[in-house]
A and B are shown apart, each in its own frame.
Chain A
Amino acid sequence: MKLKKILAMVMAAAMCAVGFAGCSSEGDSSTPDTGNSGNSANSDSAANSENSGTTGADYSDKILKVGVKDSVIGFGYKDPLSGEYSGMEIELAKKIAQELGFKDVEFTTVTAATRTELLDSGDLDCVIATFTITDERKKSWDFSTPYYTDAVTVLVETADGITNLDGLVGKKIGVSTGSTSAYNLAKTMSEKGLLGDYTVPESSADFDISSFNEKGTKFEQFADYPAISNAMAAGTVDAFCVDKSILANFKTDDRSYIEDTFSPQDYGVATRKDSELSAPIEELITKWLSDGTIDGLISEFKLN
């Protein structure tokens, strides 16, 4: 009797595992990228594709999966308890889904550590998450025309008395994993001659953030912004370097920006390389840039 029970359990579990495998292959095919099954004459989507000029793909039974930020007020912010998202990038995603005729839009919080990986794995259709367009990234993903331009700066504890880039020499600087800030900061500092003879490599691919150590200036990488803010409160790092719009969330009365801002950061909508969504999204963004829709969003969320 006991044996039978065990066997039954094993069988059940094995079936579960098989089910898993089945699910997964289904899951892959249902993303719009590969599952472009229907060009059928759905009147709804036909109307949609007309006004957005898409390739005529039918998304009416699909959900647009968008990766967004959850801790950047104004861009992408999620109330953790209610689960509601708000911000300019959220609105942008909703508009894209609506224009392309998706049934619905679904948001997923991404960090620097997960955004590209989820895009690669097909879990997300696009990423609208203060994602800076760079030459290196363009090799791996498609980007739309920038919808917002920000600059990098550095936040410090006012009590530490750092006011400009000179003060950062020999300090530990907190940056986010997968971000461009460390490279840009090192570049700006070396151009100003603050790092002696050091010059940053031509390509950011050759820049080694975690072993960087010039005149005692070092970088510490964190998986998420709040962790950097806390580490600065803890004194583990002396400065917090990311895009200014993100830093604004962590600016308190005891903290101040340094005088310098540098390296304009262009935020774009990222999609998989050669995804069928790349072109229509690009069209929408350029359209909204020229007709003032995006400017409207920027002023609505007080980002200017």
Chain B
Amino acid sequence: MNEIQGSLKMITNGDVLVYLIKGLGFTVVIAVFAVLLGLVIGTILALARNYCTSKKTVIFKWLATAYIEIFRNTPLMLWIFIGLVYFPSVDVSAEFSKALGLSRTEIALLIKGIIALILFTSSVIAEIVRGGLNSIPKGQFEAAYSQGFGIVQTLALIVLPQTFRNIVPTLLSQVITTVKDTSYIANIAVAELLGRTFQVIQISPRYTGFTSQNVSDVFVLCGLACVMYFAINFTLSCIVRRMQKPKVRKPVSV
């Protein structure tokens, strides 16, 4: 019983709680950022893989295909480790680093992790966008061409807007996946929620008043992190489900 009380002290200890909530903030910001940039890169990749079929441009198709297949078939963690050495370091201002509460090198490290996450996510999103593109009936293209639209105009004005509208739910599910994927950054930097949770578990005896960790510390800290992840992801998945429902009904009303 005492052990549990000791562990619970960590939750009532405002410092620990704030420390973890800040981690949650990092997690969410990183995930949103990764999905947005991933969407840009992914769209370009998907367009290249789908429509660069003429002799002149076919090289882009192969490049995009290679990129997508390489990132889809290797783990994120590999890219995080590779990025540690080979990705560019971003130097941020001292004020920015103070505001985030991380050293500038730690931010550089974090950004390398985020770049790896973006590269990885963009390959997944490319396939999502491609699925969306492929679901647009061919007739739309033919109709557009017959009206004198070029391929670029057709894509930009007719196909892509429909595609994006169709894939919004899938993209939101991807946000959930990416929120979870941010945890792999814990292997190289302590900034997001999982890294911080792990950090506090290592030093929990300082807050519980015991000489070593107890099982209850693990339960309390992992439980807290679980609740935080769950709150965000479950909200998102509820939104996804609500969005998907009317889509099913649509054909009935038409």
A touches B in complex, CB < 8 A: yes
List residues of A whose CB falls within 8 A of some B CB.
2-3, 6-7, 9-10, 13-14, 16-17, 20-21, 23-28, 30, 63, 65, 67, 71, 80-81, 83, 106-109, 113-114, 117-118, 120-124, 223, 226, 230, 233, 252-253
List, in ascending order, chain A residues with CB within 8 A of B177's CB: none
User: Closest residue to B106 on the A side, CB-wise?
Assistant: A108
Counting from the closest, the 6 A-B pairs by CB-CB distance are A24-B88, A27-B91, A108-B105, A226-B202, A13-B40, A117-B85
Of B37, B106, B213, the contact of A16 (CB 8 Å cutoff)? B37
Q: Is the CB of A26 within 8 A of B91?
A: yes
Of A10, A17, A252, the contact of B212 (CB 8 Å cutoff)? A252
Q: Is the CB of A27 within 8 A of B89?
A: yes
Of A65, A67, A107, A120, the contact of B85 (CB 8 Å cutoff)? A120
Q: Is the CB of B160 within 8 A of A106?
A: no
- What separation, in Å, do the CA atoms of A244 and B157 have in the docked complex? 68
**Which of the four size classes fits the interface of chain B?**
35 or more
List B78-117 residues whose CB lies under 8 Å from chain A: 84-92, 94, 101, 103-106, 108-109
Given contacts A27-B91, A108-B105, A123-B109, 10 further A-B contacts (CB under 8 A): A9-B36, A13-B39, A25-B88, A30-B91, A81-B16, A106-B105, A113-B188, A117-B84, A118-B84, A233-B212
- What separation, in Å, do the CA atoms of A14 and B39 have in the docked complex? 11
CB-defined A-B contacts under 8 Å, sample of 23? A6-B161, A6-B164, A13-B36, A13-B37, A16-B37, A20-B90, A26-B91, A27-B90, A63-B104, A80-B19, A80-B203, A81-B16, A81-B19, A108-B103, A108-B106, A114-B84, A117-B84, A118-B105, A118-B109, A121-B87, A123-B108, A233-B212, A233-B213
List, in ascending order, chain A residues with CB within 8 A of B253's CB: none
Q: Is the CB of A253 within 8 A of B211?
A: yes
Q: Is the CB of B84 within 8 A of A121?
A: yes
List, in ascending order, chain B residues with CB within 8 A of A67's CB: 105
Q: Is the CB of B37 within 8 A of A17?
A: yes
A258 CB to nearest B CB, Å: 21
- What separation, in Å, do the CA atoms of A114 and B110 have in the docked complex? 12
Q: Is the CB of B88 within 8 A of A27?
A: yes
List, in ascending order, chain B residues with CB within 8 A of A7's CB: 156
